[in-house]
Amino acid sequence: MQEHVVGEVMTNNAARRYFSTDNSIFTLTPSVIVYPKNENDVRKTARFTWQLAERNRIISITARGSGTDLSGAAIGSGIMMAFPAHLNHVQYFDSKEGIVVVEAGLNFGKLQQLLLGYGRFLPPAPASLEYSTVGGAVANNTSSMRSFKYGDMRNYVRGLRVVLANGEVIETGKLTKKELNRKLGLTTFEGEIYRSVDTLLEENKEIIGKSIINVTKNVAGYDLVDIKQNDGSFDLTPLFVGSQGTLGLITEITLDSDIVPNDTTLVVAYLESIQDVQSAVLSLRDLKELPNAIELVDANLLAYVSSINANYLKDVIAPPYPKFVLLIEVANDKEHKQKKLIKIIQKTLSKLTQSIVIEEDSDKQKIIWKLRDASSLLSGHIEGHLSPIPLIDDGIVPVDKLAALIDSIYHQFTKEHLQVAIWGHAGDGNLHVQPYLNLGQVGDRQKAFRMLEEYNRQLRELGGSTTGQYNDGRLRAPYLDKLYSEDVYKLFQKIKTIFDPYGTLNPGVKINVSLDEIKPLVRNEYSIDHIYDHLPLS
Ligand SMILES: Cc1cc2nc3c(=O)[nH]c(=O)nc-3n(C[C@H](O)[C@H](O)[C@H](O)COP(=O)(O)OP(=O)(O)OC[C@H]3O[C@@H](n4cnc5c(N)ncnc54)[C@H](O)[C@@H]3O)c2cc1C
């Protein structure tokens, strides 16, 4: 391979070990690492594996950004294709329109800095932005607390350059009916894909229509809903976004951005019951103009973080902690509208609590946000052999089921004799929670899978999805067929086969994955230290 690609190819044990973990609970060692220097290297590698597959030798390719993935999607046993080493440039930036074209391996934080310099930003930036790539964010369809108002990554991707499984390069974007017809007539693999996807969509309209889960964001499975519009326009972009490298290798991304909102105001409400949290969120969602974000932390998180670091919350809040804290960020370009909105929010919340703080000063807001940032202290804290495990940390439910979700999480942790702390995007019904477990112990591994099973069952019963932002990966993939109907799951399988007939693109992720396959891959220890030195070895 080294003779065929310009970038580096590595097979030494240190490099392979380095890429054998992402930020999930799994481990899988790659055979070889390729650091593509340019798109041609990506093409040649894909072509190489395709030709071997034609002769019944399957070598997989796993696209790798920075490996911060929490679902086990950035590891694989074949070729690890590390994008950030070289494919990390901004290709084009129109600061007026806010359109930016970047290579997939560009660090997300660097892109955000560039945009902020022009008063713009990408709202669905993950909390891991300093350590992760734009390509990873697109492939996972990330979202953030401000996705409540602005939507997820899918909303910002205008088009992609993608290397297909056979090494062909395609450009995606919105096509008119006429342009689609031209694609349908191509004799290439691209043409085959357009014909097969179009037929699949046309023949299964009813099944696809029924596949929508009633939540505000959902990254489980493949997005079959947004490809073809009623006006006949067609776009493969939403299908690639969130597909975790299982359909193609993204080399270039065209993105929209948003204007950074003017001064924000932070409204903080202290609430004493789960039901009040749900009522508050439902009322806030009904407002004519939505807040930027509605975030939640519970008293357990605050107490736990204070026990780890007594000073951390000293300047923000003192015990006894309220059972729940809602943090509501509001921004409107017009000052009088902003004031009006805050008054409405205050009135709405005052039916549920008298403990409301309104903060306009941006420095003071930063201090208050420590309440929410406390979760990262918990995620990074290890107690002996016990680590907070990303296991059941991304469920999302319809917002009128938020109280039931919180209740069921508390119940589940009590049943397992575990400490519980909840935080997350209450406005979207998307909560995070991480049990402290020792994955080196058989008992805790069994507990982990018992909890995973039970949690995913609860989410289904509540009409939710197993993943609002972290995606299926290996961790949630075994539950995808239960989450959707059999008919829908079959369509997902067909999509995978259309794009990846030999199964060379990130197999073992998202689709056709069983619990028996993932259980042996669980690591003995877990920590997120990896994130801090996660630079490609090149
Ligand atoms: C502390 C922490 C906080 C986090 N916060 C958030 C958050 O707020 N919101 C959120 O949504 N997620 C969050 N995540 C999850 C994760 O960081 C994001 O999904 C991130 O965008 C992944 O980027 P990455 O570069 O690390 O991708 P990787 O982990 O390397 O890869 C992720 C997936 O994308 C695929 N991929 C990567 N590059 C390409 C490419 N060029 N072509 C095709 N497929 C590709 C990989 O195969 C894999 O399936 C967090 C993770 C951690 C550890």
pLDDT given at position 310: 92
Taking the centre of ligand 1 as the mean of its atom positions, its distance from the CA of residue 134, in whole angstroms, is 8
Q: Which two tokens stand for residue 149?
A: 């108002």
pLDDT digits (tens, 9 = 90+) for 190-229: 999 999 999 999 999 999 999 999 999 999 999 999 999 9
Between the CA of residue 60 and those of 24, 53, 165, 239, what are the distances in Å? 20, 9, 10, 21
- Taking only the tens place, the pLDDT of each residue in 368-412 is 999 999 998 898 899 999 999 999 999 999 999 999 999 999 999
- Kindly report, residue by residue over 121-151, the tens digit of the pLDDT: 999 999 999 999 999 999 999 999 999 999 9
Q: Which atom of ligand 1 is nearest to the CA of 528?
A: 53
Do residues 417 and 451 make contact, with C-beta atoms less than 8 angstroms apart? no
CATH of domain 261-296+310-370: 3.30.70.2190
Q: Which residues pair with 324 in a beta bridge?
A: 271, 298
Burial of 221 (0-12, 13-18, 19+ CB in 10 A): buried
What DSSP element (H or E) covers 356?
strand 356-359
Q: How far away, in angstroms, is 126 Cα from ligand 1 center?
A: 8
Q: What is the mean pLDDT of the chain?
A: 96
What is the number of the ligand 1 atom nearest to the C-alpha of 139? Answer: 34
Mutate to test the pocket of ligand 1, among 80, 88, 142 (most ligand atoms within 8 A of CB): 142
Which whole-number Å values give the CA distances from 395 to 244, 436, 476, in the listed order?
Answer: 18, 18, 10
DSSP 402-432: HHHHHHHHHHHHHHTT-----EEEGGGTEEE
pLDDT at 538 over 60: no
Mean pLDDT of 4-21: 94
**pLDDT band with cut points at 50, 70 and 90 for residue 535:** very low
Domains 98-258 and 261-296+310-370 share a fold: no
Cα distances from 104 to residues 79, 448, 470, 473, in angstroms, run 17, 34, 18, 19
Q: How far apart are the first and last CA of the chain?
A: 17
Select 98-258's CATH number: 3.90.930.60, 3.30.200.20, 3.30.465.10, 1.10.10.10.
3.30.465.10
3-state secondary structure of 57: coil
Give the domain ranges of the chain: 98-258, 261-296+310-370
Q: Is the pLDDT of residue 529 over 90?
A: no
Q: What is the pLDDT of residues 164-193, one digit of tens each?
A: 999 999 999 999 999 999 999 999 999 999
Pocket lining for ligand 1, CB < 6 angstroms: 22-23, 62-70, 73-74, 83, 104, 126-128, 132-133, 135-137, 139-140, 142-144, 244-245, 249-250, 379, 469-470, 506, 528, 531
Asked if 104 and 59 touch (Cβ cutoff 8 Å), the reply is no
